[in-house]
Each structure stands twice: as structure tokens, then as C-alpha cells.
Amino acid sequence: MAQNPHGDKLKLDCKECHTTGTWLYEGDSVGFDHTMTGFVLEGSHQSVTCVDCHKSLSFEEVGSDCISCHQDVHSMSVGNDCSRCHSNTSWVVDNIPELHEQNGFPLNGQHQVI
């Protein structure tokens, strides 16, 4: 049996994702169930292609935390739990005053959001 270029953990028949003649990826007919990875594709993640996150053939190289695929524009200054402020459908934060209140920095005076 040939070595799997996607890593040892992927236990699928190659035909589940590829044509047997050319190894082309068969996107819409893929039999891979991403839920078995522990990272369920929800929200905006449902519309990305595999190579949007899996830049190399070894799928094991991608972590399940947000910064595995997304740039941390906060430079870890607010921690690594992106879901505290963002959802898997949008990066827009619509509850800024409440979040600051919860984190001990209420937006008072000049800091208030107008």
C-alpha cells in the first residue's frame, strides 16, 4: 500500500476524494466527514475549500485553533479564545461595551462607543 501524503490519521480510500485516473480533487462529491476531526465546519467554514486551510498535503499540520488559519490582529493581547468576541459567521464584534465590562475595563467617559 502506498504512503498516504495526507498523514497517517486520514483513513479513507483515495477514491473518496479523487478520481482514479488523474488524482484530481472531486470537491462536491467528497465522502470525507470533517466532524470526525473534532473541528466541525460551521458558519463561514462551510464555504471554504480544503486548501484554504490545508496548504500542504499533510492535513495533520493544521491546528484547530483560529490562528492556524487566521492572522491574529490582536497579537495575543486579548488571549486566544476568539469565540469570546467573534462568531464563526463574522469577525464583526457587535457587543463591544459588554465585552469590556466583562473584562474589567468598562468603556466610560472618552472610551464610550458612540
What tens digit of pLDDT does each residue of 52-85 get? 888 887 887 888 888 888 889 888 888 888 888 8
pLDDT tens for each residue of 15-54: 777 777 777 776 655 667 788 788 888 999 888 888 888 8
Q: Give every CB contact of residue 111 below 8 A, 6+ residues apart in sequence.
A: 100
Sign of the alpha-carbon torsion through 6, 11, 12, 14? positive
